Structure 1
Amino acid sequence: MIDINRIKRIWGTYSLVRKLSAINGPNVSKTLLDRVMYSSEALPLLGKEYWWFLFFGQDGEKPVQLMLLIFRKHGKKMLFNNKEMVLRNLGKNKFQAVTAGWVYDGKRLHDLGDTNAIVRIQEKSIVSEISGQKMILCGGFPDYRLKVGDTIDLNIKKANYLEDKDACGVFIPPFGMGWVDIFSDVDGIVLGRKFKGTSHLQKVVGATIFGPFHWGRIIFQNSSVASFFCLKTGKDSKKYFRRSLTFYDHENNEIIRFDNPKLKISKRKGATFLWIVKGKDKDKDFRIVLETYARKQFVMKGGGSQVYVEYAVTPRELSLKTRDRAITLDDLGKGVGTFEDAYW
């Protein structure tokens, strides 16, 4: 029997992706941010939905960094890091999914575990658990609180960035993904120690196959930000598409966007593991060398497969040249960020 209500809900998911794709930038309302963050959508075939929370510390040669993930997809089950996870809808804004996370404390990485958890979404909160610890995100843009048992307790506040939020998407029916990002300052307690730094909250929903990509975001001491993204045709492919490269020059209050950049991303193994990112368009040239200091891998199987590797990184070198000026790491101060390497 055809479930008309489910078809309507799936159509609503596609409508949301189309709406986010039409914005494709920072002009997103608080109402829409909260609506996307605090709801679960009906997932079509190849559908995926996840909440991804990332935090960078400010101090030390290897700053504290932590990540939390809530992930669900279309289907009844999946393998996540070789553990079978049951995926179930349990009513409106209640479902069984995967929760995972890690903390790098400045010296070593602590795995918070992979849990087949129940997730409940209410008007202004997401409640779940990870390895027996209650996990809750609550609040609304721009003020949130995130708590994980006695391990993590963070207050998330408005930051002074050139862009502190966005809504984006790609919609090519029957495929499409939409997402919102919230960039903030944060302080609180992590592993019993005071923590201060920056926060990136993201919610993603849509329908697409798993695929290879690179993504990175680096925040510098003077609040400037570099970000880049590309899809690839294979794990080791150098053919990139859906390329983007943006530098947010906080000191000069300028956003430098590369127009359909030519990207070249390579890795170098040695005493330290490096990622090297080069980007170029008709009048701009960018190069950054990222030194990795922590690594966490997730392997997902079921309805396709994906290996997703996160690297905690600090910039060793940076050069940005435009028609009228040049920027180096000396101008920006130290930085910290994440580099993602995902492949089939």
Structure 2
Amino acid sequence: MTDVSNDKLAIVNDKPVTVDDKPSTANEKKNKNRTLEERIIIEKNKLLRFIRERNDYIRNLPETEKKAFIASIQNLKESKDKIEKLLLKKEVKEAKKGIDGLLFSFEDLPLFGKEYWFMKFTSDDDSRRQFFLTFGRSAGDIEVNGRYVENSRVINDRTDGYCVAWAYDGMKINLTDDPGAIEVENDRVTCSSKDMKADFYGTFPKYMLDISKNGEKICCLEIKEPADANYNSELSEFFRGLFGYRFANLYFDFRGMLFEKEFSGKCYAQKVIVIGPFIPWKWSRIIFKNGSVLTYYIPNIEIIGVEYNIHNSMEYYDAENRKLHRFRKAKVYEYPSEKGSKRWILTAEEGKVFMVTRSYCKEAFSFTKNFNFRYIENLVDVVDFQVELEDRIITLEETGSGLGMVEDTSGFVI
């Protein structure tokens, strides 16, 4: 493991602490725990109240509207069977068609529905350059970053939505943070905001992303299937009751130009449809210099009640051997640093995985609809890393430097 003594971090009783931290008194610990418990109870009661209000709302709908709402959910569930058959039969060509079908289409969103495209590009050099594009819509009025967006209705394959694009290229660069129009036509989805236009188009396994600002092209990227075809895409969905999600993920390579400079590395492109509230989660995706990838996803189980099947997952893709390793019981601890940036310590399976990341740039989002949901994208470097596999131990000496993003969320919104 790389020496992290300069960062004053250590693991004590399976919990990370700063080495120079003073021990808390019994009263301090008790007050801290009581505050946390009170906050969890408040947040949990908010969500349970929302579920009751949702049920009352549906129950009091006119019979015609009630039938239409339930039918729209049922249509989503029935299409699930088609995706499951593709995955179970491993009909690769048809599954890939399913990914394009999800990427380049609008879903008929029912009440509480949300639809988002998310693209993340991480450089494969030592520049720490990263680029992000997110756009989407909601099936109801919502406030995003203080801007009011009315209910998005699809008319002639076009709808209103919201678009955010930003980058880090030696400094933070904000490209757009505005309401915009989203249009789908054949194998292309286009998002246009006040002064920016983004075109994503193609067919599996090759896509293009072109972005212009004030009529000047600032980004042109070719996105293509990586050498290891076994780790390039994912198509999945889950429904429980009237809530659920569907998503398509692409784990691709990219090459092209950004701000008139060559830009290449690893791309993560996602299209996700969520029926229900946004709830807190912990998510990170780290790209190492040798092409290895570490990802974890941990929804916050303390505040969402018993209706949801929340899980804990962590994966490490070993690029050298082209093998995916899965780990259980991932835990993430968050700490401030002396310069005001944050650090995260990740552990899994009693120390088989250990990673320390440190933020160097961030972008914050807020969603408001009855409740508040805060979402922060933190760009991070890997300070320390070690993973124990069946036959060897891998550290930063083998993987090279690590770069990526940690998502920090709180609250919820319907």
The TM-score with structure 1 as length reference comes to 0.89
Q: Which residue of 2 aligns with 1:278?
A: 347
For the pair 1:54 / 2:120, whether they are aligned, the reply is yes
Q: How many residues matched?
A: 334
Q: Which residue of 2 aligns with 1:255?
A: 324
RCO comparison, higher one (Cα < 8 Å, 6+):
1
Within 5 Å, give how 1:226-237 maps onto structure 2: 226-233=294-301
1:139 CA drift (Å):
0.3
Match among 165, 184, 189 for residue 121 of structure 1 = 184
Match among 279, 287, 291 for residue 211 of structure 1 = 279
Indicate the SS of the match to 1:242.
coil
Q: Which residue of 1 aligns with 2:364?
A: 297
For the pair 1:197 / 2:262, whether they are aligned, the reply is no
Greater per-residue helix proportion: 2
Relative to 1, partners in 2 of residues 1:315 and 1:177: Cα closer, same or farther, differing over 3 Å?
Answer: same
Map Cα deviations across residues 100-155 of structure 1 (whole Å, 9 max, x no partner).
Answer: 111111x2111122222121101100112133222111101111111111121111
1:311 CA drift (Å):
0.9
Give, as a single letter, the amino acid of the residue that structure 1 aligns with 2:145: N
Q: Which residue of 2 aligns with 1:164?
A: 232
Question: 1:304 and 1:44 mapped to 2: Cα distance?
Answer: 19
Given that residues 207 and 222 in structure 2 are in contact (C-alpha distance below 8 angstroms), is that contact kept between their aligned partners in structure 1? yes
Given that residues 26 and 167 in structure 1 are in contact (C-alpha distance below 8 angstroms), is that contact kept between their aligned partners in structure 2? no
Relative to 1, partners in 2 of residues 1:215 and 1:262: Cα closer, same or farther, differing over 3 Å?
Answer: closer
Give, as a single letter, the amino acid of the residue that structure 1 aligns with 2:405: T
1:13 CA drift (Å):
2.5
Match among 367, 372, 382 for residue 315 of structure 1 = 382
Q: Which residue of 1 aligns with 2:136?
A: 71
Given that residues 10 and 42 in structure 1 are in contact (C-alpha distance below 8 angstroms), is that contact kept between their aligned partners in structure 2? no
Question: 2:403 and 2:384 mapped to 1: Cα distance?
Answer: 12
Question: 1:139 and 1:174 mapped to 2: Cα distance?
Answer: 33
Given that residues 210 and 305 in structure 1 are in contact (C-alpha distance below 8 angstroms), is that contact kept between their aligned partners in structure 2? no
Given that residues 181 and 193 in structure 2 are in contact (C-alpha distance below 8 angstroms), is that contact kept between their aligned partners in structure 1? no
Within 5 Å, give how 1:180-191 maps onto structure 2: 180-191=248-259
For the pair 1:144 / 2:227, whether they are aligned, the reply is no
Question: 1:129 and 1:333 mapped to 2: Cα distance?
Answer: 38
For the pair 1:31 / 2:31, whether they are aligned, the reply is no
Given that residues 21 and 170 in structure 1 are in contact (C-alpha distance below 8 angstroms), is that contact kept between their aligned partners in structure 2? no
Indicate the SS of the match to 2:311.
strand
Give, as a single letter, the amino acid of the residue that structure 2 aligns with 1:71: G
The TM-score with structure 2 as length reference comes to 0.75
Question: 1:169 and 1:175 mapped to 2: Cα distance?
Answer: 11
1:9 CA drift (Å):
4.6
Give, as a single letter, the amino acid of the residue that structure 1 aligns with 2:333: I
Given that residues 101 and 114 in structure 1 are in contact (C-alpha distance below 8 angstroms), is that contact kept between their aligned partners in structure 2? yes
CA RMSD of aligned residues (A): 2.5
Greater per-residue strand proportion: 1
Question: 1:80 and 1:245 mapped to 2: Cα distance?
Answer: 30
Q: Which residue of 1 aligns with 2:74?
A: 11
Match among 89, 95, 98 for residue 153 of structure 2 = 89
1:169 CA drift (Å):
2.8
Percent identity between the two aligned chains: 25
Question: 2:302 and 2:360 mapped to 1: Cα distance?
Answer: 25
Indicate the SS of the match to 1:222.
coil
Q: Structure 1 stretches of 5 or more lacking a match?
A: none
Relative to 1, partners in 2 of residues 1:217 and 1:23: Cα closer, same or farther, differing over 3 Å?
Answer: farther
Question: 1:248 and 1:326 mapped to 2: Cα distance?
Answer: 14
1:304 CA drift (Å):
3.6
Question: 1:21 and 1:13 mapped to 2: Cα distance?
Answer: 13
Given that residues 179 and 194 in structure 2 are in contact (C-alpha distance below 8 angstroms), is that contact kept between their aligned partners in structure 1? no
**Greater displacement, 7-16 / 181-190:** 7-16
Relative to 1, partners in 2 of residues 1:174 and 1:5: Cα closer, same or farther, differing over 3 Å?
Answer: closer
Question: 1:269 and 1:165 mapped to 2: Cα distance?
Answer: 36
**Greater displacement, 159-168 / 26-35:** 26-35
Map Cα deviations across residues 171-198 of structure 1 (whole Å, 9 max, x no partner).
Answer: 2121111111011111112122221112
Given that residues 121 and 267 in structure 2 are in contact (C-alpha distance below 8 angstroms), is that contact kept between their aligned partners in structure 1? yes
Given that residues 23 and 168 in structure 1 are in contact (C-alpha distance below 8 angstroms), is that contact kept between their aligned partners in structure 2? no
Question: 1:264 and 1:52 mapped to 2: Cα distance?
Answer: 23
Given that residues 287 and 404 in structure 2 are in contact (C-alpha distance below 8 angstroms), is that contact kept between their aligned partners in structure 1? yes
Give, as a single letter, the amino acid of the residue that structure 2 aligns with 1:297: A
Question: 1:172 and 1:18 mapped to 2: Cα distance?
Answer: 14
1:220 CA drift (Å):
1.2
